[in-house]
Amino acid sequence: MSFRVLATARSFCTTPGPHHDYLRDHDCQVDLRPPDHPLSAAELAALIPGYDGVILGLDVCDASVIAAADRLRVISRYGAGYDKVDLEAATQRGIVVTNTPGANRIAVAELAIGLMFSLARRIPQVAANARQGIWSRAQGWELTGKTLGLIGLGAIGREVAQRALALGMRVLAYDPYVSGTVDGVTLVGLDTLLREAHIVSLHCAATPETVNLMDAARLAQMRPGAYLVNTARGDLVDEDALYQALVSGQLAGAASDVFRHEPPEGSPLLALDNFIATLHMGSTTAESVERMALMAAQNLVAVLRGEPCPYVLNPAALSRQE
C-alpha cells in the first residue's frame, strides 16, 4: 500500500539524508513543499486534502486545517513543540499527532549558552563595529560566578544547566512539573528565581498558562541590570514590555531566537543596541536536523502502518482510527 505524504518543514525538505530514503523505502510518495515562511492555516488548508500524512514545521494547523483534511491519519511535527496544532480537533477526527522530543536539545542548549556569551561580551556589536572600521573594545563580564535562572527544566533546560555548571555558574530552576533533586541545580519558586538570577533563560512550552509569562510585572521583578534569553517560544514574552525594560535600563540586555510573529519585521526590538536577535535557528545544526528528520519520518510511518510509536501526543486518536 502506498501513502501520500506532504512535507512542509523547511530543513526536513531541503536537507538530504536518511529521512528521505526511509520514507521512500516505506511506500511513501512524498511531496516536498518547503515554504519561505511558516504556513498560515488558510495556506495549509488549501494544500492538505488528499494526503495520508503530513510532516509540519511551525505551520499553523488549527481546526480549519483539520476540517479540510479529507484523508489525513497523522500529523508528524518536526520538532518538540506542538502549540501550533489543535490537538483536540485532531483527536476528534482520529488524526494522530506526534513530535520529536529531545532531538534538538543539544542544538538549542548550545545556542542558549552562545547567546549568553554574546550578551556578556557584546560580540555582535563589536563585530559589527569592526566591519565598519571602528576599533572600539567593549568591557564585558564573565559568566563564571553568575547566577543563571532556568524557567523550564525539561530536556533542553537540563542540557543548558549542565553547560552552565561546567562554566562555574550557580544554577536555579523553576519548573512546576519537576520535583526532587537535579544534580547541581537548585529548584526555587519563580519569584525567587527572577529576583536572584543575573541571566534568565526560558525553556518552557507555550501554553495558555505561559503565554506572556514574562510580562511587564515579571520583567520588573528581575534583578536590575539582568539579562533575558529566549530560545523557546516567542509567545512567552510580552515584546512591548521587553522593549520598555531594555530602553529604561531595567534590563541590561536580552537575546531571542524566537518571536511572536516570524519573521519579526518592524519589531522595535531590532533597533536596540542591547538586543540580540537570531531567526529561529535553535535546532538548525546538521546533527539536530538529521535526528529530528529521521524521528519525524519514523513517527509518520509507524502510525500509517499501524505500528507502535512512542511519541504520540494524543493516544485517544489511535482508538478512533481502530
Catalytic residue list: 233, 262, 280
Cα 145 from chain centroid? 28
Nearest alpha carbon to residue 257 among 288, 240, 236: 236
d(CA 148, CA 248): 22
Are 275 and 245 contacting, i.e. CB atoms less than 8 angstroms apart?
no
The one-letter amino acid at 242: L
Three-state SS string across 191-208, please? HHHHHHCCEEEECCCCCC
Burial class (CB within 10 angstroms; exposed 0-12, middle 13-18, buried 19+) of 145? exposed
Dihedral sign, Cα of residue 217, residue 219, residue 221, residue 225: negative
Please give the Cα distance from 69 to 240 (Å, whole number).
37
One-letter amino acid for residue 119 of the chain: L
> With helix as H, strand as E and coil as C, how does 79-110 read?
CCCCCCECHHHHHHCCCEEECCCCCCHHHHHH
